[in-house]
Amino acid sequence: MRPVILDARRLRAHQTVAETALWDQLRGRRLGPKFRRQHPFDCYVLDFYCHELGLVIEIDGDTHAGDDSARRDIVRTRVLERHGLRVIRFTNQEVLREMPRVIERISLAIQKPR
């Protein structure tokens, strides 16, 4: 089995508090389209992915705060965009403290054509 798939399974079993909170809002087509969590794609594991819309939602925790992590996130986003995907990012703090605004941004992204 590919390492990315094993990583995805492990990450699904050990979600962060922010990932769990957002998953509660996305699961079961609560916003309309179907989202998958910790979805393997290329050499990455996407936090949340909607295949129908080509939409990726990434939640950046404290480990994303450093310069190296920020550069890796930029590269990751560019790779995903080259595959025709749209990427929106939130911090853990945004998800935990500003959920209505997070849901509003996701809803707007859902309404935009691919």
Mean of the per-residue pLDDT values of the chain? 87
Residue 67 in this model has a pLDDT that exceeds 70: no
Q: How many domains, the chain?
A: 1
Q: How confident is the model at residue 112 (pLDDT cuts 50, 70, 90)?
A: confident
> Any idea what the CATH number is for the domain that residue 22 is in?
3.40.960.10
The whole domain housing 10 covers 3-111
* Mean pLDDT within 76-104: 96
Q: Where are the alpha helices (DSSP H) in 52-91?
A: 67-82
62 HSE (CA, 13 A, CB side)? 2
Token pair 């790779």 in the structure block, residue: 79
Model pTM greater than 0.75?
A: yes
pLDDT digits (tens, 9 = 90+) for 6-47: 555 565 566 889 999 999 999 999 999 999 999 999 889 999
